[in-house]
């Protein structure tokens, strides 16, 4: 797991793992990680989430706004 930078220190995301067609998100609440995949979430959203995860800003908000329940 790679730690999420969280530039503004206001995110619920703790870390992530990036795969070819998915991203696994670990949240600070300590629950199980969520996998967002091309199949379940769509390639556009997964690729955007990868960009946000690497940049360290906006991932939690993106999840809440666009893909909250679209995990595998």
Q: What is the pLDDT of residues 5-36, one digit of tens each?
A: 999 899 999 999 999 999 999 999 988 999 99
Q: How many CA atoms lie within 13 A of 19 on its CB side?
A: 9
Number of domains in the chain: 1
pLDDT at 63: 98
Residue 72 lies in a domain: no
Could you give the percent of the chain with pLDDT greater than 70? Answer: 100
Domain range for residue 36?
2-67
d(CA 15, CA 20): 17
d(CA 72, CA 35): 6
DSSP labels, 27-66: ETT----EEEETTTT-HHHHHHHHHHHHHTSSHHHHIIII
* Residue 39 banded pLDDT, cuts 50, 70, 90: very high
Residue 24 lies in a domain: yes
Look-up of token digits 């797991």 = 1
pTM assigned to the model: 0.94
């Amino acid at each position: 797991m790679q730690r999420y930078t969280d530039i503004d220190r206001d995110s619920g995301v703790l870390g992530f793992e990036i795969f070819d067609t998915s991203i696994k998100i670990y949240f600070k609440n300590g629950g199980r990680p969520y996998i967002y995949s091309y199949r379940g979430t769509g390639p556009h959203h997964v690729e955007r989430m990868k960009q946000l995860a690497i940049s360290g800003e906006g991932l939690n908000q993106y999840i809440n706004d666009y893909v909250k329940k679209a995990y595998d």
